[in-house]
Amino acid sequence: MSEQAAVRTDGLGKRYGSTWALRDCTLEIPAGSVTALVGPNGAGKTTLLHLLIGLGKPSAGRVEVLGLSPRRDAAVLLPRLSFVAQDHPLYRGLSIADTLKLARKLNPSWDEERAQARIERLGLDPHRKVSKLSGGQQAQVALTLALSKEPELLLLDEPVASLDPLARREFLGAVLEAVADTQMTVVISSHIVSELERVCDHLITLVDSRAQLAGSIAEIVASHRLLTGPRSDAASVARVHQVIRESHTERQTTLLVRANGHVYDSCWEQHEVDLEEIVLAYLGYRPGANRWEAGAEEVVPV
């Protein structure tokens, strides 16, 4: 994995009126990674993606994409990235062929051969109107446009939310094949974790407009543990490790912790936790309530 960052934000925030849609967001997305941006609806995922492509001006902080400023350097930056908005909007009245033609005229860099080849591989008739295509086919056409620009960075906003399982698999497969070919960086926002575990190698969770967990998925999974033991106070564990979630029954205490190295306390039984459970714990975790503020370093470079 390259050490270079494709995206770097520092204290980035966006306010609409008195409401912060994104707040104090500091993160790095490594070049060449496939990063999942996970969070409940309204957490700020789309806002973050919009700031990355210069749609909207940050209210606070800084953002750098491929080493450039999305607004100041838009003319140089935009040809190097592709953004597929939620529900893959296309001109419904155009045929596939006309859609490609429009995209060719609008984009300075465009690989026509690749675009045609993809449409052919998908088994789509170029004369068909976009409105006559299934949701999965429309998504594939939108992806064809995005990939034929040969972007260095591909941003996908909830790309599979509206697709059936087969179409999801085909869509994500097409993205990953392109990654294998070109080593581009991909950011996929989603509220579905289970699907992204295979597909992504990095993950960022956005909750309540803040970035919380950020890093390599392998490292995230390796560092979190579920501890169970006789009912006790979490305080001694919390001195060394970060307690993400605790629950108690009359006789038993269960802690989900981000372990800081080994957990040496033999009164806890340790279990591995899968990514989905870790993410859910973070999504249910309210910042500002208690330990979170102390763990501010959790908003770390990926």
Q: Which residues bind other proteins (CB under 8 A)?
A: 1, 32-34, 169, 172-173, 176-177, 179-181, 194, 197-201, 218, 221-222, 225, 262-266, 268-272, 274
The one-letter amino acid at 118: R
Query: Which DSSP symbol is given to 103?
Result: H
Cα–Cα distance, 300 to 164 (Å, whole number)? 34
Q: Which is nearer to other proteins, 20 or 268 (CB)?
A: 268
**SS3 readout for 40-74:** CCCCCHHHHHHHHCCCCCCCEEEEEECCECCCCCH
Whether 198 contacts 188, CB under 8 Å: no
Q: Work out how close the CB of 56 gets to other proteins at its nearest, in angstroms, rounded to a whole number.
A: 30
- List the beta bridge partners of residue 3: none
Q: Work out how close the CB of 271 gets to other proteins at its nearest, in angstroms, rounded to a whole number.
A: 8
Q: Which is nearer to other proteins, 213 or 220 (CB)?
A: 220
Q: Work out how close the CB of 180 gets to other proteins at its nearest, in angstroms, rounded to a whole number.
A: 4
Q: Which is nearer to other proteins, 62 or 262 (CB)?
A: 262
Q: Is 274 helix (H, G, I), strand (E, B) or coil?
A: coil
Across the chain, how many H-helices and E-strands are there? 11, 13
**Among 122, 232, 213, 212, CA closest to 167:** 122
Q: Which is nearer to other proteins, 130 or 279 (CB)?
A: 279
Q: Is 187 helix (H, G, I), strand (E, B) or coil?
A: strand
Q: Which is nearer to other proteins, 4 or 131 (CB)?
A: 4
Q: Work out how close the CB of 228 gets to other proteins at its nearest, in angstroms, rounded to a whole number.
A: 12
Q: Which is nearer to other proteins, 180 or 235 (CB)?
A: 180
Q: Which is nearer to other proteins, 112 or 274 (CB)?
A: 274
Cα–Cα distance, 254 to 247 (Å, whole number)? 5
Q: How many C-beta atoms surround the C-beta of residue 173 within 10 A?
A: 11
Q: Work out how close the CB of 53 gets to other proteins at its nearest, in angstroms, rounded to a whole number.
A: 23
Cα–Cα distance, 284 to 299 (Å, whole number)? 17
Q: Work out how close the CB of 192 gets to other proteins at its nearest, in angstroms, rounded to a whole number.
A: 14
Q: Work out how close the CB of 198 gets to other proteins at its nearest, in angstroms, rounded to a whole number.
A: 5
- List the beta bridge partners of residue 248: 253
Q: Is 115 helix (H, G, I), strand (E, B) or coil?
A: helix
Q: Work out how close the CB of 50 gets to other proteins at its nearest, in angstroms, rounded to a whole number.
A: 25
Q: Which is nearer to other proteins, 32 or 79 (CB)?
A: 32
Cα–Cα distance, 28 to 205 (Å, whole number)? 13
Q: Is 232 helix (H, G, I), strand (E, B) or coil?
A: coil
